[in-house]
Amino acid sequence: MKSPYFTPLVTLALLLAMLGIGGAVYPGLLSVQVILNLLIDNAFLLVLAIGMSFVILSGGIDLSVGSVLALATMVSAWLLQVAHWPPLAAIGLVLLLGALFGGGMGAMIHYFKLQPFIVTLAGMFLARGLCYLISINSITIDDPLYLAMSQTQLGLLGGFVSPSALIALGMLALAVFLAHFTAFGRGVYAIGGNEQSALMMGLPVARTKVLVYAFSGFCAALAGVLFSFYMLSGYGLHAQGTELDAIAAVVIGGTLLSGGYGYVAGALSGVLVLGTIQTLIAFDGTLSSWWTRIVIGALLFIFCVVQRLMAIGAARRAA
């Protein structure tokens, strides 16, 4: 797809530059295991960013994903520890509830003509509040399957990755296929480009928008399951602000906030950029963790401005 707009190639170049400079300054940064740890530690964020990519490509936004992630950890922990459900049944129910939650918001957005920002903001408060109806305390998970998923190390390239990392990469492959090789994906791009034109073309706009938010809810719930593997607990305070990290990863990965243009695979490079920033600050050892937010904020600002300037330039050339 040719476009004058900003592309994920710039993000990839930024990622390689950061790793190159970091490797020169901090010995050991470029070791295989440190690189694989970027994926292990951010597997849940990658899954969140995948769902967010579809929402932003369609011209929307989803502020509820971090809270849905936390709710997924709480529901799964309660089902396992209190109700004593089999783990696969608990995971299946959590994923279904996440998809239904997201689909419900998508239906409200489309049929009631409400702004996605307001609907998903309400969803964020609702999901976070539901966490505390289950318990105000953390619920520890000691299920054997969750312990195995947390502790298993799978050899790769001389290092190891976790099962969660492979699940996240599998979701990325599925998302790329959906976005670029199915009618659903083409509909998402068309709606993000111009919803009225998509309607005039006879595309199933209502169904596509509902499915986009259902998929985002599913991804948020799956991210919650992966986060449960990582933390071995459910807690209402888990993943506070993670929805903003997911949005930042998608935008840094090259997807336009206005919708209609971007690559789902760019979510991976965006997540790795965020993870590399955290790793560089950890290797330095003298900087506050708040520098992570400062750098991410600056990068996001720069990427948004560049996107806007390039879009204006493209519009002028077209005129």
In a domain? residue 319 = no
> Please, are residues 94 and 72 in contact by the beta-carbon 8 Å criterion?
yes
- How many CB atoms sit inside 10 A of residue 178's CB? 18
Cα-based torsion angle of the residue sequence 13, 15, 17, 20 in order, rounded to the nearest 10 degrees: -140
pLDDT higher than 60, residue 23: yes
In a domain? residue 1 = no
Q: What is the pLDDT of residues 102-161, one digit of tens each?
A: 999 999 999 999 999 999 999 999 999 999 999 999 999 999 999 999 999 998 888 899
5 pLDDT tier (thresholds 50, 70, 90): very low
| Nearest-angstrom CA–CA distance, 142 and 101 | 27
3-state secondary structure of 159: strand
Q: What is the pLDDT of residues 244-286, one digit of tens each?
A: 999 999 999 988 888 888 889 999 999 999 999 989 888 887 7
In a domain? residue 133 = yes
19-24: average pLDDT: 89
| CATH number of the structural domain spanning residue 42 | 1.10.3470
Number of structural domains (the chain) is 1
In a domain? residue 167 = yes
Task: Tell me, yes or no, if the pTM score tops 0.75.
Answer: yes
- How many CB atoms sit inside 10 A of residue 313's CB? 12
83 pLDDT tier (thresholds 50, 70, 90): very high
In a domain? residue 208 = yes
Tell me the residue type at 103. G
3-state secondary structure of 154: strand
Q: Which domain holds residue 282?
A: 8-314
| Nearest-angstrom CA–CA distance, 311 and 308 | 5
Q: Give one word for 157, left, alpha or beta, with left for phi > 0 and alpha for psi -120 to 50.
A: left
In a domain? residue 109 = yes
In a domain? residue 2 = no
Residues in the chain, overall count: 319
